[in-house]
Amino acid sequence: MNPSTQRQAFGLKILNAKHHAVRKLKTEGYQAEIHGNKFWNSSFLIMDHLKRNPPQRALRVLDIGCGWGLLGLYCAKQFNARVTGIDADPNVGPYLQLHARTNQLAMTFEKRRFDQLTKAYLSKFDLIVGADICFWDELAKTVFNLIRRAHTAGVGQIIIADPCRTPFEKLAESCAHAFDHVERIDARLQRPVKATGDLLIVSQR
């Protein structure tokens, strides 16, 4: 493993922008348009939480705003989960599939916006995860509405991680008022990477 082009964390091989396969996708025209140009560290905070609080059974997982898909692939590897990743930017799909092949894992990618996820669609999943998805002001309301639809649809748990941007703060406040079982956890990692932020967890019980 060339440390300048890839690293390993939480059992996954993670390629960076200098890796020849990533560079090849860029030359083929797959240029991320909505901040999906790299792997965002808040995903590690959810991985660490799930490692400490593993699910009790195989899961159907939805990774929202999945980007390169590492968080979903972690769930596939560690919990034998059936994982779907959605992102509004279709150009991140090839990077997700590249990492799936690199790690010999399977994960489905679908181009969808958050407001396209209906209650019927969300009801197919047991766990929803999303990292670094509250980066625009309007996303606070959009993600809250998604969480409300998912909760109504019976999704067991929704976990959102963020470095505490203003939209995330608004989202957390809205969830605290709307749902009975809400946790907010200060999350910090030193190894295998440095990452800080908060987890917002909405559960059925």
Q: What is the pLDDT of residues 151-195, one digit of tens each?
A: 999 999 999 999 999 999 999 999 999 999 999 999 999 888 888
In sequence order, the 6+-apart residues with CB closer than 8 A to the CB of 201 are 157, 158, 159, 160, 182, 183, 184, 185
Average of per-residue pLDDT values in the chain: 92
pLDDT of 102 above 70: yes
Instruction: Tell me what pLDDT residue 3 has.
Output: 58
Domains of the chain and CATH, by start: 6-203 (3.40.50.150)
pLDDT of 106 above 80: yes
Say how far apart CA 11 and CA 120 lie, in whole Å. Answer: 33
pLDDT of 4 above 60: yes
Of these ranges, 15-19, 34-38, 68-72, 132-136, the one predicted with the greatest mean pLDDT is 68-72
Unique residue bearing structure tokens 């300048």: 4
pLDDT of 64 above 80: yes
For the chain, helix (H) and strand (E) counts, in that order, are 7, 9
pLDDT of 198 above 60: yes
Torsion sign (Cα): 112, 114, 120, 121: positive
Average pLDDT, integer, range 115-132: 97
pLDDT of 36 above 50: no
24 half-sphere exposure, CB direction, 13 A CA radius: 7
Say how far apart CA 57 and CA 157 lie, in whole Å. Answer: 13
